[in-house]
Copies of this chain bind each other. A is one copy, B any other.
Amino acid sequence: MNNFTYHNPTRIVFGKGMIREISNLIPAGSRVLLTYGGGSIKRNGVHAQVMKALAGCQVEEFGGIEPNPRYETLMKAVAQARKFNAGLLLAVGGGSVLDGTKFIAAAVRFEGGDPWDILARDKPVRNPLPIGCVMTLPATGSEMNCYAVVSRDSTQEKLAFANPLVYPQFSILDPETTYSLPRKQVANGIVDAFVHVMEQYMTYPSAAPLQDRQSEAVLRTLIEEAPRILADPPDYDARAAFMWCATNGLNGWLACGVPQDWATHMIGHEITALHGLDHAQTLAIVLPAVWKHEKERKKAKLLQYASRVWSLDSGDEDSRIAQVIEKTAAFFRSVGLPTSLHDYQLPPEIAKTVAGRLSRRGAKLGEHEAISGKEVEEILRLAY
């Protein structure tokens, strides 16, 4: 096991009806900038619940944060937060709203020049605004981590930052707020949470038997619950399990003391930046291709995963590995996500384009830092 530190100050408030707890979590009189996305929270009753709980506060709203939140949009929120003199940002929505809000929080009092440099040049952030969250889309784990991913139109970039000062102070997770989600977003969330776990698990053995089993716990739960998670009408217990899986998938706990990969995410971000695919759609395509390419380096963990999660214990090693890659891809397709670039009619040149972009940034991806331009191109050819 590798040495590690873990410190996660987010307060989780979980369950039906818990939005009302906002009134105990935010002091009366606070100046709250409520951030949200496309406005679904005004149609499904979540906005009304939030506003009722904020009755004692001064509230302004900033709506319109997109999926893959855009720097250009977020900088408008930064201007509004400064003008309003916001004391706290309350993100109400999914991972994109919260990721965008983390960037807003970091940028409002940023003194290092252009806030884009927080992302592009890893400039230090010292005094972000506090953040609260009502998470309505289980997927990113953003509700209990300090990561954010932001896109920029002008450069077609999608970049991440991490800062322990942007952990949400609290995150409210009410599974009932997910009932109005389109099926596609639920399916995306299942795949996103699943692949988060994989980025921390599917590497090489590192004498971390508990972490391995904890990752397998999330994977098995997602696989077993997926049909019920997607059921209509929504099933509270399944949605609750899903929501908790998503939080567990990326709150940092599974990463304690183990190597990590993240190649699938880095390659996927480029496909989103270039062609606008949903984040999870890119993951469903790229993950099986990364495994095909890296099957020798990931052999021990692929076999462990095959046995423990899919009960694949017969046949030779190569056949079990081929089977478990196909099982995983079939799972993604079973929830509704295609697993080939071909399914989206993306041009074959995408392999070279993405490889070139990552190469120019000096990318060395994967747990061995062994995946750079040439390998990315090979991986994307396997994804076709």
Contacts and interface: CB of A to CB of B under 8 A. Distances in A.
Shortest beta-carbon contacts, A-B, top 3: A3-B15, A213-B217, A207-B237
Contacts of A21: 5
Contacts of A210: 217-218, 221, 241, 244-245, 248
5 contacts: A1-B237, A4-B15, A5-B14, A210-B218, A214-B248
Interface in A299-337: none
Contacts of A15: 1-4, 257
A310 to B, nearest CB: 15
Interface string A67-85: 0000000000000000000
Given A1-B240, A209-B221, A213-B216, 12 more contacts: A1-B237, A3-B16, A6-B11, A6-B14, A7-B11, A8-B8, A14-B257, A15-B257, A207-B237, A210-B248, A213-B220, A216-B217
A346 interface: no
Of A10, A208, A213, A225, chain B has the most CB atoms within 10 Å of the CB of: A213
Contacts of A16: 3
Contacts of A218: 210, 213
Nearest to A16: B3
B221 A213 contact: yes
B3 A12 contact: no
A27 interface: no
Interface string A14-42: 11111001000000000000000000000
A117 B213 CA distance: 42
Given A207-B240, A214-B214, A14 B8 contact: no
A276 interface: no
A9 interface: yes
Q: How many copies does the complex hold?
A: 2
A12 B5 contact: yes
Contacts of A10: 7
Contacts of A1: 14-15, 237, 240-241, 244
Contact of A224 (B7, B18, B207, B209): B209
A289 to B, nearest CB: 28
A28 to B, nearest CB: 20
A253 B224 CA distance: 21
Nearest to A214: B217
A12 B2 contact: no
Nearest to A170: B7
A256 B14 contact: yes
A13 interface: yes
Contacts of A17: 3
Interface in A232-255: 237, 240-241, 244-245, 248, 253
Interface in A84-104: none
A18 B8 CA distance: 19
Of A16, A207, A220, A224, chain B has the most CB atoms within 10 Å of the CB of: A207
Contacts of A244: 1, 208, 210-211, 256-257
Contacts of A256: 12, 14, 244
Nearest to A213: B217
A175 to B, nearest CB: 8
